[in-house]
Every structure is written in structure tokens, then in C-alpha cells.
Amino acid sequence: MNRYRRGKPEKMMVSNSRGGKSAKEPRRGASGGRVSLLGKLRSYLQSHRHLFFSTVKRLASEPIQTLMTSLVVAIALGLPAVLYVGVVNLQQLGSRVETTTQITVFLKIDSSQKAIEQFQKNLISEADVDTVEYISRQQALEEFRILSGFGDVLDMLDENPLPPVFIVQPVAHFQRDLVASEVLVAKLKGMALVDDVQLDMKWMQRLQAMLVIGERFALSLGLALALGVLLIIGNTIRLAIESRRDEIVVVKLVGGTNAYVRRPFLYTGIWYGVIGGILAWVLVAVGVQWISGPVARLAELYQSLFELMGLGFFGLIVLLLIGASLGLIGAWLAVARHISSIEPK
């Protein structure tokens, strides 16, 4: 230590001259870090506007990468959208098709001919009943013999095991109303002569049930694919972060906050989602357009006014919103995991 001396005199001279300088520069400290609140807000908005365009520019400068990611997002968004369009159109189709619900009434096997005739009269006078068809035990046996091919077995039996049956068609407004049909079924079941009642769900009801399943399927497929979109965008953003590592390090060294570093990546994620949403809409629209010709000709054959429905403007908005949200969340997941781990070393 003794070879050196602390250079007090010289330093004091320096600090004297500095004292004068800093007095002439009273705003130096303030302008070094702080900016007025209004100015801050303005530059915040400006920086967002700047980000809006600069992130687009960056995406446009890598068109292949951008298109690939957006296309994958588009397909993931488009698949459930196609299913949805299919379900909606089938529902629309179903609501236009006339259909028949029929109720099969099994009478007690030992019902007398007289009681059966009376029962038939009662049935016809029932307000909810449109038509009634009677199948006697003998007719039922013949039918069964022909249809089942178990004729030999039946011949071995001493007695006809089949009960008398009525096939009941409810009035028109019951046709698509499952609940009303069930009420009628319960009423029939309560009658003295009746052994059992069976409501035949015709293909319309089956279709309705299938459509409910289809809707659920579209929803769960949509959720699974949404997860896929999160992963795709998350991974793309992760790679983008990785490729801009040097820049992130420098930005952090000069006082950039995590939020500042995050922002362009969040914007980029949103853009992927939005572009993907638009592409998905276009894909679905093209698909609908493509099959609408044949469908119209088919409808003509059946003299139906059926017209294929697309996604429409509302569908576009929904796709954009879903795409943008998924893009933001996916980017956020990537950014939260990777940006805070990049620190200057």
C-alpha cells in the first residue's frame, strides 16, 4: 500500500470543477431515469403502435416460417370449424325433413277379441293419435316367420308366443317432440289391456342424438386442437426468443424490463393466431363453396330448398378472437418460461 498514495488533491480538483459543471446541468439526474407521467403514457402507446408494425414487418421478412406456423394454426382452428359447419347444416337439414315417430303397443297375450276392438276405438278417439294399425297375433307370427327365418323353431312350439300389437302414429306436432311422445307412451302404458309400449326413435331422433354427439365431438376436438395451437405458437415463440438471445441480453443490460422484452413476442403470438384464424376461415369458406354446388343439385333432386351454410362474418370474428387469444396465451407460456431465464452473464 505504501508505494501508492490516495490521490486526494487531484481528486478534489476534479470534484471542484465537476461541482461547477453539475450546477449548470441541474436536470441531468432527472432526465437520466425519470420521464413525466403523461410523457410515459404517450411513449407507452407509441411503443405499442411501433410494436404493432415492427412485429408485422418481422413476420413479413420471414414469409415461409410465418405462413407455415399460421397454416398449422389454421388447420387446427379449421377442423373443428368444419365439424361445426357440418353439424349446423345437418341440424338445418333435419329441421326441414318430415319424419315419423311411431309407438308400438303390445297388448296382453290373453286379451279377448272384443276387448281389442274396444281398445282400438279408444285409441282412435285419442286426441294425440293420428293413425292406428292393428297386427293380430296370427299376422305377427306370419311376419316373424318370414322375417326371422326361425320358422322351424316356431313350429315346434304348441302355442303362438306373440302378443297382439298396435302401431300408433301420433299427430304431426308430436313428430319431433320427444317429451310429448314420452307423455303419450306413459298414458298408453297405464291402460288396462296394455302389456308394454315401445317408442320407436326413427332416424330423425337418431340424427338429433348423433348431432348432439357431433357437437360434443367438435367441442372436444376443438379443445384438444386449441391445446395444440398453444403448443405450436408457444414453440415458435420459444425459437424466436432463442434466436434473439443476444438482443435480449443487451436489452436487459441497458435496463429493459421483462415486460419490455416480452411485448414483441406477445404481439407476434397474437399475429400468428390472427393470421391462422383468417386462413382457417378462408379454408372453410373455400370448402363450403366447393361442395355447395353438388349439395344444391342433390337438394334439387329431393325438391328441397336446402342451402349450405358457411361460417359467415360472425364466424370470422369468432375465429379471429379465438386465434388471437390462443396466440397470446401460447406466446405468454413461452415467454414466461424462457425470457426470465435469459440474463446477462
Partner 1 sequence: MIQFDKVSKRYPTGHEALNGLSLELDAGEMAFLIGHSGAGKSTLLKLIMLMERPTHGQLLVNGKNLNRLHRSQIPYYRRNIGVVFQNHQLLFDRSAFDNVALPLLVSGYQPREVGRRVRAALDKVGLLDKEKMNPIALSGGEQQRLGIARAVVHKPRILLADEPTGNLDPELSAEIMDLFRQFCEVGVTVLIATHDVDLISRMGMRQLQLQQGRLIQDGVPA
Query: Which stretches of the chain bind partner 1, using CB under 8 A?
Result: 1, 3-7, 10-11, 14-15, 17-18, 21-22, 25, 28-29, 31-33, 35, 39-40, 42-44, 46-47, 246-247, 249-258, 260, 343-345
Closest to 75 (Cα-Cα) out of 232, 265, 220, 216: 232
**CB 247, min distance to partner 1, A:** 6
CB atoms within 10 A of CB 14: 11
The single-letter DSSP state of residue 34 is: -
Cell of 90: 345437418
> CB-based contacts of 240: which residues, under 8 Å, 6+ apart?
265, 268
Dihedral-angle region of residue 96 (phi above 0 means left; psi in -120 to 50 means alpha; beta otherwise):
alpha
Task: Please measure the distance between the N-terminal and C-terminal CA atoms of the chain and give it in whole angstroms.
Answer: 32
**CB 64, min distance to partner 1, A:** 19
Whether 232 contacts 73, CB under 8 Å:
yes
Cell of 183: 307423455
Whether 303 contacts 242, CB under 8 Å:
no
The single-letter DSSP state of residue 108 is: P
**CB 275, min distance to partner 1, A:** 23
**CB 4, min distance to partner 1, A:** 3
CA distance 342 to 345: 9
**CB 328, min distance to partner 1, A:** 22
**CB 32, min distance to partner 1, A:** 5
Q: What is the largest CA-CA distance in the chain?
A: 135
CA distance 334 to 328: 10
**CB 67, min distance to partner 1, A:** 22
- Of 16 and 139, nearer to partner 1 (C-beta) is 16
CB atoms within 10 A of CB 334: 26
Whether 82 contacts 287, CB under 8 Å:
yes
User: What is the total residue count of the chain?
Assistant: 345
**CB 22, min distance to partner 1, A:** 5
- Of 4 and 313, nearer to partner 1 (C-beta) is 4
Taking each helix axis from N to C end, the angle separating 203-243 and 258-301, rounded to the nearest 10 degrees, works out to 150
**CB 312, min distance to partner 1, A:** 42
CA distance 260 to 252: 9
- Of 6 and 297, nearer to partner 1 (C-beta) is 6
CA 100 to chain centre: 32
- Of 158 and 246, nearer to partner 1 (C-beta) is 246
- Of 49 and 96, nearer to partner 1 (C-beta) is 49
